[in-house]
Amino acid sequence: MLIVLRLGHRLPRDERITTHVCLVARAFGADEIIYSGQKDKGLEKSVKKIVSDWGGNFKIGYTEDPVGLIKEFKEKDFYILHLTMYGFGMEEMKKEKGRNTLIIIGGGKVPSEVYGLADFNISITNQPHSEVAALAITLDRLFKGKELKLEFKGKKRIVPSARGKKLTEF
């Protein structure tokens, strides 16, 4: 199981970026996203509609206590990866085979305790960058490209084409 924890969702500032984090998490093979910060029923409704229309078993949840949640996942022996520009380079990351994984990505200020709770603090680059890009690259590395061949069975599917847009609805 692979779960993404999005820290510090802020309304209205993060509405679009958190939605994109959810889209990437789902499309690149995560099972669930849990967010903290401000509760956003619109975000939850949007993600549930995407899953309903496009398929998959992806879930969205909310927590008021992200640090407590991280501790719960550690107790359940999850491998905790924290994506941060202050971490070690991506090339040093190891996938713990057979272990469930929690990937943490920040929004606003990340509580300092998160750095100590993580099994690995990973940096895509030690420069300011997007958490959406960091998540996509991390999931691609963890799944070794296999996520690009995932099939979702939903009400809608895109039909690949060289030109134009083709969509089938079931």
pLDDT of residue 107: 77
8 A C-beta contact, residue 120 and residue 98: no
What integer pLDDT is reported at residue 96 of this predicted model?
Answer: 67
Q: What single-letter DSSP state applies at residue 148?
A: G
Token pair listed for 105: 């990505």
Every domain of the chain and the residues it spans: 2-169
Is 155 strand, coil or helix?
A: coil
- Ranges of the chain with pLDDT below 50: none
Cα distances from 137 to residues 133, 151, 155, in angstroms, run: 6, 19, 28
The CATH superfamily label for domain 2-169 reads: SPOUT methyltransferase, trefoil knot domain (3.40.1280.10)
Q: What is the DSSP string of 67-110?
A: HHHHHHHHHTT-EEEEEEEEEEEGGG----TT--EEEEE-SSPP
Q: Is residue 90 within 8 Å of 141, Cβ to Cβ?
A: yes
